[in-house]
Chains A and B, each alone.
Chain A
Amino acid sequence: MSNKADKLLKQAMREQQKRIRPGECQKYVRLVLDQGLLRIPWGQELLEKLNNTDLKYEIRCLPARNCIIWERNVGQQTLVAGVELEDAWNMEQQVLLVYTETDFQRALKDHNLSCIGAKLHDAFPAPNCQFTVVVPRLRQSKHSHEANALIELQLLQHLHVEQLAQPQCQELLSLLQRYTKAIAELPYKQQRQSILGSFKKYLANDNKQCVRVEQGNGYGRLWQQHLNRLPLVTLEVAESIISQYPCPKRMLQHFEEDPQAVQTLADIKIKRSNGPQPLQSERRIGNVLSNKLYTLYTTRDPNTLI
């Protein structure tokens, strides 16, 4: 690849990274509200509130009444009416369906809820769409007809349900803000997830414990924290190991030179700072841990289990 192409590619990557970075990303996402929402009791109020936020939105006639969807500007453009270039907006997966109090009660009475799922899938046939039904919060009584209806929506039709407390308008607005933020940040999170997902154990970002190494100081502490990464290693165990092997080089040398190294390591006594004398068996590092350390620092197969 020529340098020019390389540069362009890098530039494109940077641009893309910028667009998905949390904070920046919200600028490239907008809401699309179905125009039916203008006519609901608090529809106008909702619009006024929306205008007071940073959220970008459009009003359109959507395939299903009272729905809300999201669109993202990925930096591409489309030719409109053969003459103009416009930003291309791609639809996101989330679709909300808003039920007013009246609509919801009616739907319950008429047992219409069981066909919502099908209706929504028809209206938005894209394969990965995720639907959320937004309803007013129920008066929660045990085994109410409504509660069961919502459970059926969840289990039978795999629809998500969000219940809005009063005042509905404000609650919906907060909900939309949260969803917009989540949707905007989705590509970034997915990027990270694609890496982390392959690991069985979640790789915690415990940044608070990181060791700063400056001018040769801090290696000791770093070594201790390396040892702590192993499941069986407590603070006392780590300290006992360090008393024999103050640096990894020593341990590695020992493993290499001495065939009895594993046994020696296993026999190291654990110094307990206080408390009663523990059982004899607990005072050693032990064969299990010793073998794990040996495996960790000698194997060339990354999939070995320890």
Chain B
Amino acid sequence: MEARLEIKLEQPNPLFTRWLERWLHEAEQRNRKSQHKLRQALQALRNYPLPLYSGRECAVLRGFGTTLCQLIDEELRQHRLLASQAKLNMSATAASSSAEYQEQVQQVVKVVQRKQKQQQLQKPKKLTKKAQQELAAAEERERVVHMPAGSYRIVLLVDTQETSGKNKRILDQTRSYLQTLNVEHEVRRLTVGDFLWIARDAAGNELVLPYIVERKRMDDLASSIRDGRFHEQKHRLHQCGLPHIIYLIEDYGDNEQLGLPLESLLQALVNSRVQSADIQVVRCDNHYRSMCYLSGVGAALQQLYVDAAKTLYSVDKPQLARAQADSCRGQEGLLKFRSLYEDSARNAQLTVREVFVQQLLQLHSLSLDRALAIVERYATPRLLLDAYAACQSETEARQLLAGLCCGPLQRPLGDKLSQCIHQFYTNEFKAG
């Protein structure tokens, strides 16, 4: 931003001023008549902002008659003589004074510029709408929410996609059962899990109670195990940070014709239970009983939190485990609903490393152990290609990965796979 700088010299004519002061003083002492005019002239000189380079120039000012101007010029001449004799670079000479003046001006300019910059840094610039929104969102994320006992209600959140199959009828049925059971609930899009409980206060703040429910009918369970979704969902449930995961497993009629043997499903459930202390498995006969279960849990939570007059406060995910462990009787640290939502939405993005591993896995006989060993050494495709480029010979490049140790037994990757990968990235081939 351009700024006009107005330079006002404190003392534009220090020399002349000094002389006049001297003469005035002398005149006052001797009580000369000239003191009046001198006083006037001094005043005028002090008020005059520009530098004057000779007595003659002073004539423009009030109180400077010809005599006075001549006096000044005479004094100036003598002064210069003295200066040249003393070989001192006095600011009396017009040329040097002008140069120095310029220098001084430059210095002042620099100081002003520096001050301006400082000011700009300190003064908040007017934000764009987007920036304002981002700032507001960040502030909201930072804000600690406090809910003293008695200030909140517990509400069950039902995922909008809570269905067995993409069937709205199931959602409606869920809702009607919950209504029959007098369970206070709300339908909302949940990025993870089918049911959650929140504590909500009058201001609309929402904290998530540390339980997340994934409801699965037996036939769902079977199909999700077969296509791998089951493990992925389990992984995401662990990632969300809530410490208590409840698998609500609902029988499907007689549990026959599920697509997998019932025993396999039951084994999968026990496996989940045994592998993770966070997971509980609850089995119910049918949809209605499942809702009864949720109602029962809601009532228990009501006891645990509201009746027990617990104070709730918000924490971040990294602090949650600690807060839960520390939770003494009166207080509990919980995640904000918004954070949970944003966090799991954000986790939908992959890192380059993850995509690279998944790409490597596409090659037959390249196991997870081997893929991980490769990525451990060359974490992105670019890094692998750099390594290939750095090889001295084609043979070296082909063998680059062969010696990598994979898995707990540290088996080498092997020539064949190493060559295959090398060819894939460096050869020209046709589609097909």
Q: Which A residues form the contact surface with B (CB < 8 A)?
A: 10, 13-14, 17, 94, 128, 130, 140, 142-143, 147-148, 151-152, 154-156, 158, 160-161, 163, 174-175, 178-179, 181-183, 185-186, 189-193, 195-197, 199-206, 209-213, 216, 219-226, 229-231, 242-243, 246-250, 252, 295-306
Contact = CB atoms under 8 A, between A and B. Distances in A.
Contacts of A303: 351-353
A155 B211 CA distance: 9
19 contacts: A10-B409, A13-B410, A94-B274, A158-B244, A174-B266, A191-B408, A196-B235, A201-B235, A210-B362, A213-B420, A216-B429, A220-B431, A221-B432, A229-B359, A242-B431, A247-B427, A296-B355, A300-B383, A305-B352
B352 A299 contact: yes
B293 A151 contact: yes
Contact of A219 (B359, B385, B424): B424
Contacts, number: 211
B283 interface: yes
What's the dominant secondary structure at chain B's contact region? Answer: helix
Interface string B351-369: 1111111110111111010
Interface stretch (B77-85, B142-150, B294-302, B396-404): B294-302
Contacts of B284: 140
Contacts of B423: 216, 219
A220 B300 CA distance: 58
What's the dominant secondary structure at chain A's contact region? Answer: helix
A284 B284 CA distance: 49
B75 interface: no
Contacts of B1: none
B427 A219 contact: yes
A143 B292 contact: yes
B271 interface: yes
Contacts of A160: 273, 280-281
B275 A181 contact: no
B361 A249 contact: no
Given A143-B292, A303-B352, A182 B270 contact: yes
Contacts of A185: 271
The 10 closest A-B pairs by CB, nearest first: A302-B379, A302-B353, A202-B235, A182-B274, A210-B364, A246-B431, A202-B232, A220-B432, A178-B270, A225-B362
Contacts of A246: 428-431
A71 to B, nearest CB: 15
A223 B425 CA distance: 9
A209 B181 CA distance: 47
Given A219-B429, A246-B430, A147 B292 contact: yes
Contacts of B409: 10, 13-14, 17
B231 to A, nearest CB: 6
Q: Which size bracket describes the interface of B in this complex? A: 35 or more
A297 B266 CA distance: 43
B350 interface: yes
Interface in B213-238: 228, 231-232, 234-236, 238
B277 interface: yes
Contacts of A247: 427-431
A231 B283 contact: no
Contact of A17 (B296, B301, B351, B408): B408
Contact of A179 (B270, B289, B363, B420): B270
A148 B352 contact: no
B349 interface: yes
B12 interface: no
B357 to A, nearest CB: 6
A178 B263 CA distance: 9
Contacts of B293: 147, 151
B300 A211 contact: no
Contacts of A94: 274
Given A148-B300, A202-B231, A203-B358, A212 B274 contact: no
A210 B359 CA distance: 10
A130 B277 contact: yes
B347 interface: yes
